[in-house]
Amino acid sequence: MQKIFEEVLSLDQKCYEKFALSEDLLMEHAAEYLAQTIRKRVKKGGTIVFLCGPGNNGGDGIACARILHKEYSVSIVLPYGAKSKMARLQLKRYELVGGQIYNLVEEAEAYIDALFGSGLSKKLDEKSCELIKYINAQEAIKISCDIPSGIGNNFISDEVFRADMTVSMGALKLPMFEDFAKDFVGDVEVANLGVSRDIYEADSDIYLLGKEDMNLPLRDKKNTNKGSFGHTCVVAGDKSGAAILAGTSALNFGSGLVTLMSRDSLFIPPYLMHSNSIPKNTTSIVIGMGLGDVGVDFELLTTNNCPLVVDADIFYDTNLPELLRGRTDVVLTPHPKEFASLLRICNLGDIEVKDIQSNRFKYVGIFMNHFPDITLVLKGANTIIASKKQMYISIEGTNILSKGGSGDVLSGMIGSLLAQGYSGKDAAITAVLAHSIAANSVQYNNYALNPIDICKEIKCL
């Protein structure tokens, strides 16, 4: 996993003060890394237009244009001029080697966005939006320097540079992992600024997950039986299909036994068991999906010491906060609307879904500060896992998963890992990654996913 930062100015300052690396030197390293990235994607001699802003992000772009001058047909566009000290210095150097400056954007094989970096504090003006709109319409390679222009802290502009790739300078920045940024950042790489990331970076409580962080419940011991791998109990409600999906995924993800608990008789697959109560040997409980009007027996849950996965309808029950108090073995899996209800019933704010979606990390942090021992999985284009005042972000999810029942499968997978002895955090991390990777392995058109397809694919990871 990689560290993510809310700001990097302090990291740059550390380089100046502790390692005697000047601002100029850091910029030259940034420009050289960006140049190497371009060389890998654009044939030598190709036409490249650099869109350079007035500040240091523009300075990075101007310096890169100078490095590539003569190697490529390079030009820069400066819609706002060069205003920062470093941008003016880089412009002087660029002009001294004979670099060209244009007032209008020409057609090119590649466009490099160095307009505005991660410090953008307000939405882009009409001039910038028109420029970016024109570039986005071009059939060309598009690379952003630091972060796509138009993405700011907690907001997105009317037009955003749609990058095929983003080269983040020095470290990963939090805004590029908001849901609203997913359509614009493309592939992400981190540029070395003259020291390794281990030296440049500081401590962080926010991490980007990778496939290597998935810890599948592979079986090493040979002397085992079905009881060796836990017993997941899924509480069924009005819509029993949701519980069947959760139960199927729990079984396919390693749980030795899976029982669907319901007061009513159910038509269920032969590999799942049925009970009118929670079995005594249960090692995890999954509840919420498809409950409908059945309701929740909270006394039953509070007197049971099993790890618990909470999903869907239960996030609207005002008794839920009482269940959470003092618990350390609960995993919550809301989507944004359910999370808004969770914040409301926990008296943490009456927040609209659109506000949550524009600042997901803020509201996850608010919840985490009040319930630090609960594991929260906020589903979305990028899923946020919060536990012990740390956040973990998975960007593996895609629009393939935008299908009813996908979340039920995820809850069953988390419940299965809890039943097998995983901690809440570790169960959430592995299940979220496996869920997305399995979905991406399905060989259908991206609109055709059936939740059962995920249940099948998780057996083949």
Cα Rg of the chain (Å, integer): 25
Contact 401, 449 (CB under 8 A): yes
d(CA 145, CA 2): 19
User: Among residues of the chain, what percentage have pLDDT more than 90?
Assistant: 91
pLDDT at 196 over 90: yes
pLDDT score recorded for residue 415: 98
pLDDT in tens, 161-179: 999 999 999 999 999 999 9
What order of strands is seen across the sheet that includes strand 284-287?
Answer: 172-173, 2-5, 206-208, 390-394, 383-387, 375-378, 330-332, 308-310, 284-287, 231-235, 257-261, 273-275
Q: How far, in Å, are 45, 83, 334, 417, 436 from residue 214 at the CA level?
A: 42, 46, 21, 12, 11
What order of strands is seen across the sheet that includes strand 187-191?
Answer: 100-102, 73-77, 47-52, 110-114, 141-145, 165-169, 187-191
Q: Tell me which CATH code domain 2-204 carries.
A: 3.40.50.10260
Highest mean pLDDT among 102-106, 262-266, 416-420: 416-420
Residues 6+ apart with CB under 8 A from 93: 62, 63, 66
Q: Give the burial class of 176: count Cβ atoms within 10 A of its Cβ; 0-12 exposed, 13-18 middle, 19 or more buried.
A: buried
d(CA 396, CA 209): 9
Domain ranges of the chain: 2-204, 212-460
State the average pLDDT over residues 47-52.
Answer: 97
Cα 69 to the center of its chain, rounded Å: 37
Cα 81 to the center of its chain, rounded Å: 35
d(CA 405, CA 155): 30
State the average pLDDT over residues 395-407.
Answer: 95
pLDDT score recorded for residue 77: 96
**101 falls in which pLDDT band (50, 70, 90)?**
very high
pLDDT score recorded for residue 47: 96
Is 368 strand, coil or helix? helix
State the average pLDDT over residues 33-48.
Answer: 97
Strand segments, DSSP code E, in 78-230 are: 100-102, 110-114, 141-145, 151-152, 155-156, 165-169, 172-173, 187-191, 206-208
Is 137 strand, coil or helix? coil
Superfamily of 212-460 according to CATH: Ribokinase (3.40.1190.20)
Whole-prediction pTM: 0.95
The secondary element (H helix, E strand) that includes residue 60 is helix 56-68
Contact 169, 10 (CB under 8 A): no
Q: What does the DSSP assignment read for 423-449?
A: -HHHHHHHHHHHHHHHHHH--S-TT--
Is 289 strand, coil or helix? coil
Position 411: which residue type? S
Q: Give the burial class of 25: count Cβ atoms within 10 A of its Cβ; 0-12 exposed, 13-18 middle, 19 or more buried.
A: middle
Closest residue by Cα to residue 236 from 172, 303, 158, 313: 313
Higher-pLDDT residue of 302 and 213 is 213
pLDDT score recorded for residue 328: 92
Q: Give the residue carrying structure tokens 């901690």.
A: 423
State the average pLDDT over residues 123-130.
Answer: 94
pLDDT in tens, 413-446: 999 999 999 999 999 999 999 999 999 999 989 9
pLDDT score recorded for residue 244: 97
pLDDT in tens, 316-372: 999 999 999 889 999 999 999 999 999 999 999 999 999 999 999 999 999 999 999
pLDDT in tens, 272-297: 999 999 999 999 999 999 988 777 88
Position 345: which residue type? I
d(CA 221, CA 229): 11
pLDDT in tens, 199-214: 999 999 999 999 999 9
Contacts 24+ apart (CB under 8 A), 199-202: 199/19, 200/11, 200/14, 200/15, 200/170, 200/171, 201/3, 201/5, 201/11, 201/170, 201/171, 202/5, 202/10, 202/11, 202/14
pLDDT at 128 over 80: yes
Between CA 431 and CA 436, with CA 434 as vertex, the angle to 5 degrees is 110
pLDDT at 154 over 90: no
The two tokens of residue 119 are 């410090």
For β-strands 187-191 and 273-275, DSSP reports them as unpaired
Cα 286 to the center of its chain, rounded Å: 24
pLDDT score recorded for residue 241: 94
d(CA 421, CA 376): 18
pLDDT score recorded for residue 119: 82
pLDDT at 103 over 90: no
Contact 400, 328 (CB under 8 A): no
Average per-residue pLDDT for the chain: 95
pLDDT score recorded for residue 69: 97
